[in-house]
Amino acid sequence: MRKTILTLTALLLNLLNAGAQQTDAFPYPSVPDTLRTPETRAMYVMEHYWDRFDFADTTLVNRPEITEQGFANFLDLLPRVKPATAATGLTTLATHLYNIKADEKTAELMRNYFEEIADKYLGDAESPLHNDLLYAQYIDAMTANKFASVADRTRGEYMARNLRKNLPGSVAADFQYTDRNGATHSMHSFNATYTLLYFYDPDCDHCQEVKAELADMPQLKEGTTFRVLAIFPYDDAERWKRVKPDFPASWTDGVSPEGKITTDDIYYIKTMPSLYLLDSEKRVILKNPDIKLLKETLSQLKVKG
């Protein structure tokens, strides 16, 4: 595995060097030929990735082929290098963003822009670079900078803490839910080899679209190996009772008493619907996957089972 990671890193660094020769593109760093090992070359890129980017040039906010592409490539590189090397890259970016040689209005505009594209690429469940842990680490680096405002630190720390909840590999937080018959259960007692947690809002159009796609999956139609637990997580039980979605008979539909799932921050539900695939021990396999990844994973687990 280590050899594979280093090979991928070397390939990416070569791509960066090739990009440095292009005009009207992100100004990638050129790695000195004296740096021979993947580790030293990766560290150089992390330390110098943003050196030639003009953070004071606000016109670059409207040049996605330069700024967004460069940022996306930077994010794509981070999971492919050692954690300490990635942390150096994030800290270096934060240093650049908080030391922009321009008036405060320009500096704030650029910081806000990077905050927006970070959320777009790391926070959007439909982004191919979606990664809650990396997003939390990105926010950590921004809020750790000594020039970050108290408001930015407070907001960032709250968001990073929420992003780290119920990550893949961890046991999903338990919660109580009430079913349509008025009985209360705990999520951890939900009997299933694999559980698909489907947090939804009955008035959410996108939830209805995703529900239709889920209901059409062969593995979820069976209601045996894979079971769906659909939960309305907000403090509005009357609306939940009033609006009854047309769920497949094999699904279990419940509501969070007093909306504690969200009011107590048990789960960070940024958008609706929100999906979690859990194993028999309620350990998170997938967190907010896109439908394609979910289908592929269900098929793989079905074959293994």
The residue among 260, 261, 257, 227 whose CA lies nearest residue 241 is 257
Domain termination residue (choose one: 163, 184, 219) = 163
Quote the pLDDT of residue 221.
Answer: 83
121 belongs to a structural domain: yes
Q: Are residues 129 and 187 in the same domain?
A: no
Could you tell me if residue 170 is inside a domain?
A: no
pLDDT at residue 18 in the model: 52
Residues 124 and 80 both lie in one domain = yes
Domain membership flag for residue 264: yes
| Same domain, yes or no: 47 and 196 | no
CA distance 111 to 143: 12
* 10 and 152 together in one domain: yes
Domain contains 284: yes
Indicate if 136 and 28 belong to the same structural domain. yes
245 inside domain: yes
Q: Which residue range forms the structural domain that includes residue 220?
A: 176-304
User: 181 and 152 in one domain?
Assistant: no
pLDDT of 244 reads: 84
**Residue 142 and residue 182 share a domain:** no
The CA distances from residue 123 to 28, 95, 167, 278, 283, in Å, are 25, 22, 13, 21, 21
Q: In this structure, is residue 183 part of a structural domain?
A: yes
Contacts 24+ apart (CB under 8 A), 183-189: 184/257, 185/254, 187/229, 187/282, 188/282
Whichever domain contains 290, its CATH number is 3.40.30.10
**Domain membership flag for residue 171:** no
**Total domains present in the chain:** 2
Out of 163, 188, 208, a domain closes at: 163
Domain match, 157 and 55 both = yes
The reply to whether 279 and 212 lie within a common domain is: yes
Query: pLDDT per residue over 203-230, tens digit each?
Result: 999 999 999 999 999 889 877 899 999 9
Phi, psi of 274 (to 5 degrees): -130, 130
Residue 14, pLDDT score: 57
Residue 3, pLDDT score: 36
Where the chain has pLDDT below 50, the residues are 1-8, 11
d(CA 19, CA 65): 13
Q: Is 130 in the same domain as 263?
A: no
Based on the domain organization, do 39 and 154 belong to the same domain?
Answer: yes
